[in-house]
Chain A
Amino acid sequence: MITVRTAITASPLTNPSAQPLQELNTIAEIPKEEYILKCTSACAGCSDSLALRYVLKAAGADTVLVVPACCTSVIQGIYPNTAFNVPVYNIAFGAAAACASGMSNAFRAAGKKTNVIVYAGDGGTLDIGIQAMSGAFERGTDFLYVCYDNEAYGNTGMQRSSGTPLGAKTTTTPTGKTDAKKDIDAIIAAHNPPYQATACAAYPQDIFKKVQKALTFRGPTFLHILAPCPPGWRYSTEKSVEMGKLAVKTGMWVLYEREYGKLTISPQSKAAMRKPLPLEDYLAPQGRFKGIDSKTVEILKQRLAKNLVKLAAEEAEP
């Protein structure tokens, strides 16, 4: 991994106003404050709202969420009610990072330290929002961009996005997607942000810690959260956490952090990489992979293995 310091990291390296990091041993140590109240219109078993709950617990009250069109635009509830207890600015599909860019600059110009957090789906990040996001990262915008990834356009009824994995059925890939998932993390890495990480909704403590850490940096930071989706992935609603854990334990999804370009694989994935579960354990319970042919499974396995080798090699770099 080449770590060229850009203008982003030439500014003071960390945010002096940030809260000191808490070392968490148990979930009971996570703050009691709730910013997602108990009246969202999320689907049963929704892991987007689960992940957001911990993102906001880590960020605290001095936070504005910028939300493009996505499931999170819907789960807030219907005007005049909202289930979210931080200011939420809803914005058009491709515009979240640009809107956050203006907001962050305005807050900083006014001397305010308010966290500006984009909370966007995979469609709004990997597809329609990628230009605005790339621009905001290149300009060194002081914000956290969270992409919660349910690997399709969930809000509109599960059409394929560039985040949909190879072989997965969606309403626009009825026989399974023939293209691979876009590697958005590599694209973000190419912008040399001071901090980027992956997470999974099944590991809320990990989300909490990574958000807290991301907010200590000045400049653009990125968190990519895998968010299992019962209606989209076609599994029963009580299995969201199990699906997330299987994604990590099979190595299909790897948890890591990249701080100033230096990769550290998170303990959960380290453990999984020593003896990954067979990929079939992850694919079989999901309706979206029903009837997937063995050749496609083989390609998925090869890519998974290649990715694990690549990440292990990057981590081993001095």
Chain B
Amino acid sequence: MGLGSSGAVFIDQKVIDTLSRVTHVPIQLDMVFLVIVILIFRQISFKLTEATKGAGKDDHSFSVVFRSISSCAFGLASVILVAATLYLGYAD
């Protein structure tokens, strides 16, 4: 559940400068918002993974498949959010 390398992204000077200029919001609010969203994504991913553990290996019902895909999607979304923030910081 830790933020890992995304912490390094959020204290990067160029990312901070770009975000505060683009969003017109204090950088602290930007960071808090992003960190909270990332943690929510990871929590959702973790909870969905836990929920699918009870299902059998051959259980391919819609709910199980949907939960598995959603779990994977939110895990990926948290990583993509970090990557997108870094990209935005250096592309602008």
Is this pair of chains taken from one and the same complex? no
Give B contacts to A, CB under 8 Å: none
